[in-house]
Amino acid sequence: MRYGDVLRAWRSILSGRAPSLSIEITRECPLRCPGCYAYETNHLGGSETLRDLSDFRGDDLVARTLELVDRLRPLHLSIVGGDPLVRYREMERLIPQIIDRGIHVQLVTSAFRSFPQEWSSMRLLTVAVSIDGLPAEHDIRRRPATYERILKNIAQRRITVHCTVTAQMLNRPGYLDEFLAFWSARDEVERIWFSLFTPQRGVDLPECLTPSQREQVISELFGLRVKYPKADLPPKVLQQFLRPPSSPAECIFAQTTEIISADLRTRVTPCQFGGDPDCSQCGCYASMGLAAVGDYRLGGLIPLASIFHASAAIGRTVAAVKRHSSPPLEVPEPPPVLITLKAPSEDRDLVS
């Protein structure tokens, strides 16, 4: 994340708006991945599951999504599912229109089918393909999106590989090295992200990492990030995996991301996992990335996280007043201390 992004996000938070929006654009997915949180019975916090929701398609989906985006005005939109490419015709129409609004879009898919080559030249679009391990593990977990199919579907495209590390991958030494060697060598791959499997509280699945496995993975990734430059793993982000946020209230990612499910109404809380996620075992790459930004100290003194939490409190008040006031309340400008950060190097990474 860069200074300019932080300033834009900060203004949004002060206005009482979440700078990031995630939409579960469809309830459908051709995969049945073990441990998938989207279809867990408690994902939506009630008796309904994602599969029970009504979802949209065609013109209706395009128009309703644009209306939602225009109403919530995020800086960043994640399109997840189900698998968004189930609605590939709608995505072909939607994505350019959202990007025209200056919004960064990330589409998360299994690549069970291909997508337009033109997407690869869209600067504000990231296509993240979930690839969970080497073929022996991945092809069992994620069929029909097997290696063979993914390689065919991403040919001459540009993608980000996203791997969720599960305990099953750690039975063989050198597994992550082999994974990185394979995907780093592909021209289609721009960068590689890793998350760690995140369970619900009180749930013990074969995918769950023990604390020592977690330490082992992070220690390996510290070394591998040097060997494989496409591994997008800043040290400050890796460090966060060893001390994840203690609760959703402490999680900057959860506090800055609004998640809407496939009926375009139901909110998923407290974060994208829904239900009752075990923050102490959180392995979400995005959460760790924002935690690393929160650790950044302004002038070497004040952690950005404390400014964020104070700003979020202001934002909640502004939002409450806005709901009861007309004309709309003016949003305060960020104080000058941060404005000065823009001047020398707005594009400098905060967590490199």
CA 162 – CA 311 distance, rounded (Å): 31
Rank residues 251 and 292 by Cβ distance to ligand SF4 and give the closer one. 251
Residue of 13, 38, 209, 221 that binds ligand SF4 (CB under 6 A):
38
Is there binding between residue 198 and ligand SF4 (CB under 6 A)?
A: yes
Read off the tokens for 281.
């075992």
Rank residues 264 and 318 by Cβ distance to ligand SF4 and give the closer one. 264
Is there binding between residue 251 and ligand SF4 (CB under 6 A)?
A: yes
Is there binding between residue 244 and ligand SF4 (CB under 6 A)?
A: yes
Is there binding between residue 274 and ligand SF4 (CB under 6 A)?
A: no
Three-state SS sequence of 79-105: EECCCHHHHHHHHHHHHHHHHCCCCEE
Residue of 189, 284, 292, 341 that binds ligand SF4 (CB under 6 A):
284
Read off the tokens for 165.
């590390």
Is there binding between residue 254 and ligand SF4 (CB under 6 A)?
A: yes
Is there binding between residue 29 and ligand SF4 (CB under 6 A)?
A: yes
Rank residues 172 and 243 by Cβ distance to ligand SF4 and give the closer one. 243
Rank residues 244 and 334 by Cβ distance to ligand SF4 and give the closer one. 244
Is there binding between residue 110 and ligand SF4 (CB under 6 A)?
A: yes
Could you tell me how many residues of this chain bind ligand SF4 (CB under 6 A)? 25
Q: Going residue by residue from 68 to 107, which x/- string records binding to ligand SF4, judged by CB under 6 A? A: -------------xxx------------------------
Is there binding between residue 245 and ligand SF4 (CB under 6 A)?
A: yes
Q: Going residue by residue from 199 to 238, which x/- string records binding to ligand SF4, judged by CB under 6 A? A: ----------------------------------------
Is there binding between residue 56 and ligand SF4 (CB under 6 A)?
A: no
Is there binding between residue 36 and ligand SF4 (CB under 6 A)?
A: yes
Rank residues 183 and 228 by Cβ distance to ligand SF4 and give the closer one. 183
CB under 8 Å to 156, separation ≥6 — which residues? 117, 120, 188
Residue of 16, 74, 199, 248 that binds ligand SF4 (CB under 6 A):
248
| Cis peptide bond upstream of 327, omega within 30 | yes
Rank residues 31 and 331 by Cβ distance to ligand SF4 and give the closer one. 31
Residues in contact with ligand SF4 by the rule CB under 6 A: 29, 31-33, 36, 38, 81-83, 110, 198, 244-245, 248, 251, 253-254, 270-271, 273, 277, 279, 282, 284, 287
